[in-house]
Amino acid sequence: MRTWKKVVLAVLAALVAAGVGGWFSLDKETRGLLKTFPTNRDLLFWSVPQRDAAFRALDRIPLLARAHVVQPSTHARPLPPGSPLPLALDVDAFMAGQRSAALLVLQGGRLRLERYGLGFDADGRWTSFSVAKGLTSTLVGAALRDGYIQSMDDPVGKYIPEMKGSAYEDVTVRQLLTMTSGVAWNEDYDDPGSDVARFDKHKPEPGVDALVDYMRGLPRAAPPGTRWHYNTGETNLVGIVVIRATGKSLAQYLQEKIWQPAGMAHEATWILDKSGHEISGCCVQAAPRDIARFGQFILEGARAGGQSIVPDGWLEQATHKQADIGEPGKGYGYQWSTQDDGSFTVRGAFGQGLFIDPARELVIVTNANWAGGALDPTAMAAREAFYDAVRRAVDDEAEIMNGG
């Protein structure tokens, strides 16, 4: 009996030791996730604590964890510190209201503000949601420059033959990028029956890409090119176009054309859908500083080695109004939300954002988990007010320096 007890105790000790060792081998973000583990894929409907845990470790949740890795550059672009930006607002209060995980302001290529919250820090990866749209858009430009995509006016069916016979057959690449396909789509993040909530659960026909199969079943609501309607499913189709045209995964092409040439310092990951393709309208996990580097890369004309990775004039079109969204002074480019003053942005659900103002050499990165939901109107208005406050601070500083 004593021998049996010794054996049991030895086994238990080994299991405990293995468990402790495994625990300490996990990074702190994943350890935090284990405390509040989401048990389903419906991330739009997770609780605030679940999102706090998951947004910093989305690529490590077993239900979602299939992802492709994007390797960083061997020569990271430095982000030298600048003088603190004299803001006429309480940054702590702003971050608290946003439930902010990261807030960075890059101006003139220098970090003028860098703050973190929710127990997150500069070494972690936070999920992007629709900020990924800016990356996907730029990869289309790269594919045009590289000759993989022949024309912005090519029909989608040229690259995705399964779309023939659907409402998307004659929709062009340009119309996908500007979200003017005219195909019906419901992007209501609060509605479990919306397309944006249901397409991930769709069971496709055998041998057909899950996203393609879902999208080709949607009806037409307006003639192509006549109506703008926000549609993340179409960004995901854009990703399939790039994958089919280049013969490369989006992560591989991102690494080749942007992540390494732009001098990213950290590994990134891109979550895959059930068919094994990157979800191109969402779900790039990246360090906030690398998102800032991407913003600076765009600000400088998407140039690598002295040459732009996109065709001449294409980035200007991408970041200026190509479609009227029905709001004065605002529009939509190639996946970028635009303003008539020349600034542009990509906005992700729950408070993710990348704002670029070329006139002021300004890049602003926000990562957050809004308590009021994916499109919390109060938090959204506060973020717009923050952008304006930063721009005023830059203008006031320039006026003082110029002796005004």
Confidence of residue 32 (pLDDT cuts 50, 70, 90): low
pLDDT exceeds cutoff 80 at 348 = yes
Q: For position 23, what pLDDT does the model report? A: 32
0.75 exceeded by pTM: yes
Q: For position 207, what pLDDT does the model report? A: 81
Cα Rg of the chain (Å, integer): 22
Q: For position 17, what pLDDT does the model report? A: 33
Give, to the nearest 10 degrees, the angle between helix 377-401 and helix 91-98: 150
Distance (Å, rounded) from C-alpha 270 to C-alpha 67?
Answer: 5
Q: What is the 3-state secondary structure (H, E, C) of the chain?
A: CHHHHHHHHHHHHHHHHHHHHHHHHCCHHHHHHHHCCCCCCCHHHCCHHHHHHHCCCHHHCCCCCCEEEECCCCCCCCCCECCCCCCCCCHHHHHHHHCEEEEEEEECCEEEEEEECCCCCCCCCEECHHHHHHHHHHHHHHHHHCCCCCCCCCEHHHHCHHHCCCCCCCCEHHHHHCCCCCECCCCCCCCCCCHHHHHHHCCCCCCCCHHHHHHCCCCECCCCCCCCCCCHHHHHHHHHHHHHHHCCCHHHHHHHHHHCCCCCCCCEEEEECCCCCECCCCCEEECHHHHHHHHHHHHCCCEECCEECCCCCHHHHHCCCCEECCCCCEEECCCCEEECCCCEEEEEHHHEEEEEEHHHCEEEEEEECCCCCCCCHHHHHHHHHHHHHHHHHHHHHHHHHCCC
pLDDT tens column, 163-179: 999 999 999 999 999 99
Is residue 169 classed exposed, middle or buried when 0-12, 13-18 and 19+ CB atoms within 10 A define those classes?
A: middle
pLDDT tens column, 42-90: 888 899 999 999 999 999 887 666 999 999 999 999 999 999 999 999 9
Q: For position 27, what pLDDT does the model report? A: 61
Distance (Å, rounded) from C-alpha 136 to C-alpha 257?
Answer: 11
Report residue 68 CA to chain centroid gap.
15
pLDDT tens column, 192-237: 889 988 877 778 788 888 899 999 999 999 999 999 999 999 999 9
- Please name the amino acid found at residue 55: F
Give the residue carrying structure tokens 């496709």: 204
Q: For position 61, what pLDDT does the model report? A: 82
Task: Give me the chain's average pLDDT, please.
Answer: 90
Using a pLDDT cut of 70, give the percent of the chain over it.
90
Q: What CATH number is given for 67-401 in this structure?
A: 3.40.710.10
Structural tokens at position 189: 């993040």
If one compares 17 and 151, the residue with the highest pLDDT of the two is: 151
Q: Where are the domains of the chain?
A: 67-401
Query: How many other C-beta atoms lie within 10 A of the C-beta of residue 12?
Result: 10
